[in-house]
A = this chain, B = another copy of it.
Amino acid sequence: MEIGKQSIRLEEPVYVESWASVVGKKEGEGPLAVFFDEIETDDQLGQNTWEEAESMLQQKAARLAVKKAGCTPEDIRIIFAGDLLAQSIASSFGIGELDRPLYGLFGACSTMGEALSLGAITLSAGHGERVLAVTSSHFATAEKEFRFPLGYGSQRPLSASWTVTGSGACVLNRKKGKVKITGLTTGKVVDYGLKDSQNMGACMAPAACSTIAQNLKDFGREPEAYDQIITGDLGYVGQQILLDLLEKEGYQAVKNHKDCGILMYDQETQDTHAGGSGCGCSASVLAGYILPKIACGDWKRVLFVPTGALMSKVSFYEGNSVPGIAQGVVLEWADGEVEES
């Protein structure tokens, strides 16, 4: 049922039954390496093009999540999938091969939050037993799509993030799982007028703040009611802005904030500047790191908030701003009960 202004409380929770993460070489050299299911040694995954490589990443993550759920693709009622590429071709070509009913999504790097949300809504309506949520990104396809040909070797500003090569997939189930989805906060487009597409953390931080603050108001919670509040890919620049904005909303010194883009790479040795980004960043960190931490009870309740920068080459060339959006998903440990605070 709806609560507050932008949130949904799932009276009967939807469970995350299984999850899988597949990442590229650089991601497999970072601090989360031990947590990922598969690390590709060839970022082209044996394919002819970068786009096919990304499709393969997504397909691998999806198939692995299905396998971990002990089922086959035929048991998945609907797939919710998306990526960053124009017309979402990584999803159309990768996920199409599973031959399942598909709803394609676009929320830029917030898409995993959207996929989990719409999957959970569908199951909460009693439509189907299992659905799959999956998103991906790839460093080389994203550079080609949004920035410069790799061969230029162009310099990146310190505020720029590094698009994660990776995919994460989750099977949602109405009846069983170690993690449950208990609430959703649907994001609004938030535009502070920033135009620097090489500083997406700053562009997305206001949207992250909007969704987090609204989630706290709608559910009547303080930040401490969550063991962790984890954004998608704000990176170091965006994180600081988010914390400043949350202070202005009355949430002083939030200590339990993490960001998938910061978690993904080692700042000292991996030279990614502001951190990781991309649809595949929050998805692979969710499936590799966050869900297992909740499943074992280390974290009892997490607010997962993937963040997206809404822009294209065309909108950038035409001088438009880069609005942000952030989709909030409340994830809880399903083996125990969490006291409402």
Q: A residues touching B (Cβ–Cβ < 8 Å)?
A: 1-2, 6, 8, 48-49, 51-52, 77-78, 82, 84-89, 92-93, 95-96, 99-108, 114, 117-118, 121-122, 124-129, 144-145, 186-189, 191, 310-315, 318, 320, 323, 325, 327
Residue from B52, B78, B85, B311 in contact with A312 in the complex, judged by beta carbons closer than 8 Å: B85
Cα distance A108–B49 when bound, in Å? 22
Contact partners of A86 in chain B: CB under 8 A: 86-87, 145, 312-314
Cα distance A49–B70 when bound, in Å? 51
Residue from B48, B82, B99 in contact with A106 in the complex, judged by beta carbons closer than 8 Å: B82
Cα distance A299–B84 when bound, in Å? 40
Contact between B310 and A89 (Cβ–Cβ < 8 Å)? yes
Contact partners of A6 in chain B: CB under 8 A: 101
Cα distance A191–B125 when bound, in Å? 30
Contact between B85 and A314 (Cβ–Cβ < 8 Å)? yes
Contact partners of A114 in chain B: CB under 8 A: 103-104
Cα distance A315–B49 when bound, in Å? 10
Chain B residue, CB-CB nearest to A191: B96
Report 30 cross-chain contacts, Cβ distance below 8 Å, ordered by A residue. Answer: A1-B126, A2-B129, A49-B318, A82-B106, A85-B312, A86-B86, A86-B87, A86-B145, A86-B314, A87-B310, A87-B315, A89-B311, A92-B189, A93-B310, A95-B189, A96-B323, A100-B188, A101-B188, A102-B325, A103-B118, A103-B186, A103-B327, A104-B107, A104-B325, A106-B106, A118-B118, A121-B121, A121-B125, A121-B127, A125-B126
Contact between B106 and A104 (Cβ–Cβ < 8 Å)? yes
Contact between A87 and B102 (Cβ–Cβ < 8 Å)? no
Cα distance A82–B8 when bound, in Å? 22
Q: With both chains docked as a complex, state the minimum distance between the C-beta of A64 and any C-beta of chain B, in angstroms.
A: 20
Chain B residue, CB-CB nearest to A127: B8
Pick from A102, A104, A129 the residue with the most CB of B within 10 Å: A104
Cα distance A315–B6 when bound, in Å? 37
Cα distance A251–B114 when bound, in Å? 38
Contact partners of A121 in chain B: CB under 8 A: 118, 121-122, 125, 127
Given known pairs A87-B86, A312-B85, the reply for A102 and B187 (CB within 8 Å) is yes
Contact partners of A82 in chain B: CB under 8 A: 106
Contact partners of A186 in chain B: CB under 8 A: 78, 101-103
Contact between A312 and B87 (Cβ–Cβ < 8 Å)? yes
Chain B residue, CB-CB nearest to A146: B87
Chain B residue, CB-CB nearest to A310: B92
Cα distance A204–B144 when bound, in Å? 28
Contact partners of A188 in chain B: CB under 8 A: 96, 99-102
Contact between A101 and B314 (Cβ–Cβ < 8 Å)? no
Chain B residue, CB-CB nearest to A7: B101
Q: With both chains docked as a complex, state the minimum distance between the C-beta of A329 and any C-beta of chain B, in angstroms.
A: 13
Contact between A315 and B106 (Cβ–Cβ < 8 Å)? no
Residue from B78, B88, B105 in contact with A103 in the complex, judged by beta carbons closer than 8 Å: B105
- Besides A2-B129, A124-B125, 9 more A-B contacts (Cβ < 8 Å) are A51-B318, A88-B310, A89-B312, A92-B189, A92-B323, A103-B107, A103-B118, A104-B325, A106-B106
